[in-house]
């Protein structure tokens, strides 16, 4: 069994839109959600090709 427990930014720093501060970070929106998506993509890549037991 594989258990994945991703950490992510919570609170104000997880939801702040850094793109409003300056033009340096236009894609820095909702970083907490982006952390979760990155963790799921990483887990999916690591499990490709493995056989799952039903």
Query: What value does the mean pLDDT of the chain take?
Result: 74
String of b and e for 9-33 (b: at least 16 CB within 10 Å)? beeeeeebeeeeeeeeeeeeeebee
Domain ranges for the chain: 1-54
Residue 53: pLDDT band (50, 70, 90) is very low
- Which residues are registered as beta bridge partners of 17? 29
* Pair 32, 14: CB distance under 8 Å: yes
Cβ-proximal residues to 7 (8 Å cutoff; 6+ apart), any chain: 35
Is the whole model's pTM more than 0.85, yes or no? no
Residue 54: pLDDT band (50, 70, 90) is very low
Whether pLDDT at 50 is above 80: no
Report, as an integer, the average pLDDT of 39-43: 80
* Total H helices, total E strands in the chain: 2, 0
């Amino acid at each position: 069994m594989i258990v994945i427990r991703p950490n992510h930014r919570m609170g104000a720093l997880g939801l702040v839109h850094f793109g409003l501060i300056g033009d340096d970070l236009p894609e820095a929106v909702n970083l907490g959600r982006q952390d979760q998506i990155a963790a799921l993509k990483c887990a999916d890549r690591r499990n490709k090709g493995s056989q799952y037991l039903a």
